[in-house]
């Protein structure tokens, strides 16, 4: 039987979150806390850096994982695709986050030089949670649509 997404979601469920800032003459702080600014329990934190000009990251979806992405330095675009609709979000501020819900195909592109992409994830790294083939993604999203709607 076709593997399904644990929750059906659309690109419109992927929200931009304006994070609180503590301003100071000597610089600013933004803090991220479980179930407060981040709408899930954080189980993993990683960051992408030293991305060569013109390179793209992502190119996959997840069966269960949710992510929260912040351009803590520099800028990049996130292309979101739910199998029906597509949306491009430009991230370029350390106090703006993007919540990527379950079952969304994502591509990260147009990284500015020296940019750092912080990712908070709802699960530890598990290769079996990845959908790396776009065909498989389309099939899983068709399946989730018909069963969960």
- Catalytic hit among 18, 23, 60, 90: 60
Short-list 91, 44, 90, 95, CA closest to 65: 44
Catalytic residue check, 18:
no
Under the criterion CB under 6 A, does residue 47 sit at the interface with ligand TYD? Answer: no
Q: Which is nearer to ligand TYD, 7 or 60 (CB)?
A: 60
Under the criterion CB under 6 A, does residue 48 sit at the interface with ligand TYD? Answer: yes
Q: Which is nearer to ligand TYD, 43 or 142 (CB)?
A: 43
For β-strands 96-100 and 76-81, DSSP reports them as: unpaired
Question: Structure tokens of 109?
Answer: 């592109």
CB 25 to ligand TYD: min, Å: 36
Phi, psi of 27 (to 5 degrees): 130, 175
Under the criterion CB under 6 A, does residue 125 sit at the interface with ligand TYD? Answer: yes
**Part of the chain binding ligand TYD (CB under 6 A), chosen from 10-18, 53-61, 65-73, 135-143:** 53-61
Q: Which of 7, 57, 93, 138 binds ligand TYD (CB under 6 A)?
A: 57
Q: Which is nearer to ligand TYD, 57 or 87 (CB)?
A: 57
Under the criterion CB under 6 A, does residue 49 sit at the interface with ligand TYD? Answer: no
DSSP 11-46: GGG--EEE---B--TT--B----BTTTBSS---EEE
Question: How many beta carbons lie within 10 A of that of residue 9, not counting itself?
Answer: 19
Compute CA distances 116 → 36, 42, 94, 109, 131, whole Å: 23, 19, 10, 12, 24
Under the criterion CB under 6 A, does residue 58 sit at the interface with ligand TYD? Answer: yes
For the annotated catalytic residues, the residue numbers are 60
């Amino acid at each position: 039987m076709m593997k399904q997404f644990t929750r059906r979601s659309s690109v419109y469920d992927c929200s931009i979150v304006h994070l609180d800032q503590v301003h100071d003459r000597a610089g600013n702080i933004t803090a991220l806390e479980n179930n407060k600014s981040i709408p899930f329990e954080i189980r993993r934190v990683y960051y992408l850096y030293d991305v060569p000009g013109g390179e793209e990251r992502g190119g996959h979806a997840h069966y269960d994982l949710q992510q929260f992405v912040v351009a803590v330095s520099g800028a990049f675009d996130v292309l979101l695709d739910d199998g029906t609709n597509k949306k491009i979000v430009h991230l370029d501020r350390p106090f703006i986050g993007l919540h990527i819900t379950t079952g969304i195909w994502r591509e990260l592109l147009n990284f500015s030089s020296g940019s750092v992409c912080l990712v908070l994830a709802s699960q530890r790294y598990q290769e079996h949670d990845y959908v790396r083939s776009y065909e498989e993604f389309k099939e899983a999203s068709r399946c989730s649509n018909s069963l969960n709607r």
